[in-house]
Copies of this chain bind each other. A is one copy, B any other.
Amino acid sequence: MAIVAADLVWVLISSALILFMLPGLAFFYGGMVRRKNVLSSMMHSFVAMGVMTIEWVVIGYSLAFGTGNWFIGDLEHAFLRGIDLYSVSGTIPTYAFVVFQGMFAVITPALISGAIVGRAKFSSYIAFIALWGLIVYAPVCHWVWGGGFLTGEALDFAGGTVVHVTSGISSLAILVFLGKRKGYGIDSIKPHNVTLTLLGTGLLWFGWFGFNAGSSLAANEVASLAFITTFVAPAAAGLSWMAIEWMSTGKPTALGFATGILAGLVVITPAAGFVTPMAAIVMGLIAGVICYKAVMLKGKLGYDDSLDAFGVHGVGGITGAILTGVFASVGATGLLLGDSHQLFIQVEGVIITIVYAVVCTLIIGFVLQKTIGFKVSESEENIGLDKTQHGESAYNI
């Protein structure tokens, strides 16, 4: 099949947009930490652009999209072997496909960083994402998109399960494993610069159009649908988060609105090309409320999901995957169209993913703990990770 130039443009520009989400994530997270941890937090996203990118082209792509078996690909395309300028995937050059998929592999582990800011050793973080990318991301990606046992079964337009459930649930596992930041719940830990978080929100939403609408992999009607749902769902989720917050606390915060937008983006991800715009609005409204409740839980249960990686990506991802099975109506049929089987598959996919991701994440965490160590010392945490891990400080007089 020949390449289609417009599809190629669409996929490449979408890829650039997704890469741009990494600085977006860095700023989203970086604004919420304290001044002494801002570079450390941002580096979690930036270093993923280094480590995961190289890992992807060296081996990850082949494990995810190589033929392999029901569980994982193989090494036929390690080091991009067998791919050249004229290789084609669908209607685009394979190089473009490798890049597009690579962006997902880069951002997914970086999402987890929000759960462990301020207390993980930088070297261990790097080891963690590298291992997690191979052991968790590559297989799950293969299951859902790369020819594995969920391919063609579970509906996951742009990575609700592959990206958000995996990273969100792994966040929960690793933060429970690592324990709280010192002083959590005692000393106040306020965002040091909310404008950075708003900047990150803007970058993320902008980039998410590439993430979701680009996932059609072609410049067609479905891309337009995925685009409009990615426009309205976060808008609705921002509003519903704001509404519930306003009613509960009397104040609609900027940080809350931004978090609501993010929740909406997460929830619509698996559904973007399968639901109508009106269903997307409903999904967004639900997302704002559910994620708000999930984040409140943290206060009640007392675990330290520092930047709500689980509260937003985990809970939002699960909600999105399930609601996709409810609302799907375009090119797929969900519960509302009477297909309870699809919903069942969605739930099944989520559960398998959760179990797999939790077990693997804990094993990785355990191995790292026993070998190179994972958490910084209390005194390093005190001084801040920018100084102790990176030998620098973000702001200087």
Chain A residues proximal to chain B, CB less than 8 Å = 3-10, 12-13, 15-17, 19-20, 22-24, 26-27, 30, 35, 38-39, 42-43, 46-47, 49-51, 53-54, 57, 79-80, 84-86, 92-93, 95-96, 98-99, 102, 122, 190-196, 198-199, 201-203, 205-206, 209-210, 213, 218-225, 227-228, 231-232, 234-236, 238-239, 242, 249-255, 257-258, 261, 276-278, 281, 330, 386, 389-397
For residue A4, which residues in chain B have a CB less than 8 angstroms away from its CB?
5
Asked, given contacts A5-B220, A6-B5, A258-B46, whether A203 binds B54 with beta carbons under 8 Å apart, the answer is no
Report the minimal beta-carbon distance from A66 to chain B, rounded to whole angstroms. 16
Whole-angstrom CA separation of A24 from B31 in the bound complex? 17
Do A86 and B254 touch across chains, with their CB atoms under 8 A apart? no
Docked-complex contact A12 and B254, CB < 8 angstroms:
no
**Given A23-B198, A201-B46, are A390 and B221 neighbors across the interface (CB < 8 Å)?**
no
Q: Among A50, A249, A396, which residue has the most Cβ atoms of chain B within 10 A?
A: A50
Is A389's CB under 8 angstroms from B251's CB?
yes
Nearest Cβ on chain B to A211's Cβ, whole angstroms: 11
Q: Indicate if the CB atoms of B395 and A209 lie closer than 8 Å.
A: no
B242:A194 contact, CB within 8 angstroms: no
Q: How far is the CA of A32 from the CA of B43 in the complex (A)?
A: 17
Copies in the complex: 3
- A-B contacts, 7 of them at CB < 8 A, read A8-B219, A15-B227, A15-B231, A49-B261, A57-B281, A85-B222, A102-B231
Q: Are B19 and A16 in contact (CB under 8 A)?
A: no
The answer to whether B3 touches A6 (Cβ under 8 A) is: no
User: In the complex, are the beta carbons of A12 and B209 less than 8 A apart?
Assistant: yes
A391 touches B79 (CB 8 A): no
> Which residues of chain B are within 8 angstroms of A198 by Cβ–Cβ distance?
23, 26, 39, 42, 46
Q: Is the CB of A42 within 8 A of B195?
A: yes
Q: How distant is the Cα of A390 from the Cα of B198 in the complex, in angstroms?
A: 14
A54/B199 in contact, CB under 8 A? no
Q: Are A9 and B12 in contact, CB atoms less than 8 angstroms apart?
A: no
Q: Kindly list 18 other residue pairs between chains A and B, CB separation below 8 angstroms, not including A43-B254, A122-B252.
A: A5-B7, A5-B220, A6-B219, A12-B213, A12-B227, A15-B231, A19-B206, A23-B202, A27-B199, A42-B195, A46-B254, A49-B238, A50-B238, A53-B231, A53-B235, A85-B222, A93-B224, A254-B392
